[in-house]
């Protein structure tokens, strides 16, 4: 997935989550207010029902002889006196309570002969407010998604254009660098055959190797998906020894005789990037171990951010050269061949490629 698509998805997720969160909070408080308003209205209705009942009976003495209104019960000192329905379990400290979608209202009267409680109830009206809010939320969600996609494309258009310009520049630069770098490397090989050992020549050779590696990394990133692979059987031990000589390093190594089927250029990029990094970031030692199951290269450095070190254009040390493509390239090649590429801090930086 391209970086601009990832950015767009992140933007959409954050925008949708924050918008729906705010809408959800608003709907929650609206529902609570509407619910409380409905309960208050029903309470007034029940209260008026009891008050009208009491106006007709100014003196309450023998409750059981009174004709009760529909859905009414009378208690004296919390003991049931008369009722035309089965009262639920009552908390006499609550004036209003709701059970089984019914609203109950309890009227308390203080009389010389005891405390009188009059209970009545009514069914709450069918509440379709939740359904309405869900339908409203669905329309809002569709609207917000459409708006966020439009805004995301508008906001990301400049970044996308910049990335396209950068990729075009890298492609053109890689193409233009191909011929001069090939000429430089060919002439250096010819001069090496003459056993030239001047310091100036050695510096030119090292700089050319570094430039050639950067060129190879850029070429891989831009052209690897179009390059035809030629899978051959390679003696991995001899190949590593050859690259050790190329980088002019003196590691401690333990190499078994191992053969692997892989494209030679891909293997070169894997080994060269790992050895180059080991040489660049080691202080005292480099250790290489090759078995039938894995290749391990270790140095005495340390990686601060292991989670991002395999990403494109990420460098552990900004003072060092390069574009931060080495471990990204190794990871992508290993992924193509089904190898497991691991990197961790273990008394130094340890990278391991498990191929079996």
Give residue-wise pLDDT tens across range 254-265.
999 999 999 998
Calculate the alpha carbon distances from 348 to 282, 285, 298, 321, 335 in Å.
Answer: 9, 10, 7, 21, 24
Q: Which helix (H) or strand (E) holds 97?
A: strand 96-99
**Of the candidates 253, 236, 221, the residue with the CA atom closest to the CA atom of residue 323:** 221
Q: How far apart are CA 127 and CA 180, in angstroms?
A: 79
Per-residue pLDDT, 256 = 95
Q: Which helix (H) or strand (E) holds 132?
A: helix 129-192
Q: What is the tens place of the pLDDT at every residue in 132-170?
A: 888 888 888 888 888 877 877 777 777 677 767 767 777
- Per CATH, is 228-354 categorized as 3.30.56.10? no
- State the chain's mean pLDDT as an integer: 82
- Torsions phi, psi of 351, nearest 5? -110, 140
Q: Which CATH number fits domain 3-123: 3.40.1350, 2.60.40, 1.10.10, 3.30.450?
A: 3.30.450
Per-residue pLDDT, 257 = 95
Q: How far apart are CA 50 and CA 96, in angstroms?
A: 13
Q: Are the CB atoms for 338 and 322 separated by under 8 Å?
A: no
Per-residue pLDDT, 227 = 66
Q: How far apart are CA 38 and CA 111, in angstroms?
A: 32
- Per CATH, is 158-227 categorized as 3.40.50.1100? no
Q: Are the CB atoms for 82 and 116 separated by under 8 Å?
A: no
Report CA Rg, the chain: 40
Per-residue pLDDT, 307 = 77
Q: How far apart are CA 49 and CA 63, in angstroms?
A: 17
Q: Which helix (H) or strand (E) holds 239?
A: helix 236-247
Pairing of strands 72-76, 114-123: antiparallel
Per-residue pLDDT, 340 = 94
Q: Are the CB atoms for 286 and 279 separated by under 8 Å?
A: yes
**Of the candidates 271, 272, 281, 279, the residue with the CA atom closest to the CA atom of residue 353:** 271
Q: Residue ranges per domain, the chain?
A: 3-123, 158-227, 228-354
pLDDT tens by residue, the chain, 356 residues? 555 667 667 777 887 788 888 888 988 888 888 888 888 999 999 999 988 888 876 555 544 455 678 889 999 899 998 888 888 888 899 999 988 889 999 999 988 888 989 999 998 877 777 788 888 888 888 888 888 778 777 777 776 777 677 677 777 777 677 778 778 878 877 877 777 777 777 778 777 877 777 777 777 776 665 567 889 999 999 999 999 988 888 899 999 999 999 999 899 989 998 998 888 877 788 999 999 999 999 998 888 777 778 877 676 665 555 567 788 889 989 998 999 999 988 888 899 999 87
**323: burial class by Cβ within 10 Å (0-12, 13-18, 19+)?**
middle
């Amino acid at each position: 997935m391209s970086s601009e698509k990832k950015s767009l998805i992140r933007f959409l997720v954050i925008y949708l989550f924050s918008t729906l969160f705010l809408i959800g909070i608003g709907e929650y408080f609206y529902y609570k207010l509407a619910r409380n308003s409905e309960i208050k209205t029903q309470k007034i209705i029940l209260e008026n029902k009891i008050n009208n009942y009491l106006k007709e009976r100014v003196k309450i003495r023998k409750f059981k002889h009174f004709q009760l209104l529909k859905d009414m019960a009378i208690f004296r000192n919390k003991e049931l006196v008369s009722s035309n329905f089965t009262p639920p379990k009552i908390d006499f400290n609550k004036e209003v309570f709701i059970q089984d979608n019914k609203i109950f209202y309890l009227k308390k009267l203080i009389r010389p002969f005891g405390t009188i409680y009059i209970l009545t109830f009514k069914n709450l009206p069918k509440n379709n407010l939740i359904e309405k809010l869900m339908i409203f939320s669905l329309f809002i969600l569709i609207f917000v998604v459409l708006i966020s996609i439009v805004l995301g494309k508008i906001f990301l258009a400049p970044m996308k254009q910049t990335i396209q310009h950068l990729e075009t520049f890298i492609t053109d630069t890689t193409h233009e660098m191909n011929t001069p770098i090939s000429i430089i490397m060919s002439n250096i090989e010819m001069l090496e055959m003459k056993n030239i050992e001047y310091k100036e020549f050695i510096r030119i050779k090292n700089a050319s190797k570094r430039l050639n590696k950067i060129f190879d990394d850029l070429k891989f990133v831009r052209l690897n998906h179009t390059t035809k692979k030629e899978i051959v059987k390679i003696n991995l031990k001899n190949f590593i020894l050859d690259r050790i000589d190329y980088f002019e390093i003196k590691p401690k190594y333990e190499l078994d005789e191992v053969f692997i089927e892989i494209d030679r250029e891909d293997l070169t990029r894997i080994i060269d990037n790992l050895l180059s990094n080991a040489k660049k970031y080691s202080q005292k030692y480099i250790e290489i171990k090759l078995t039938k199951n894995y290749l391990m290269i270790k140095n005495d450095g340390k990686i601060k951010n292991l989670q991002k070190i395999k990403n494109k254009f990420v460098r552990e040390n900004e003072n060092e050269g390069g574009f931060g493509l080495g471990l990204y390239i190794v990871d992508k090649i290993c992924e193509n061949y089904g190898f497991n590429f691991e990197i961790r801090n273990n008394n130094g930086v340890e990278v391991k490629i498990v191929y079996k």
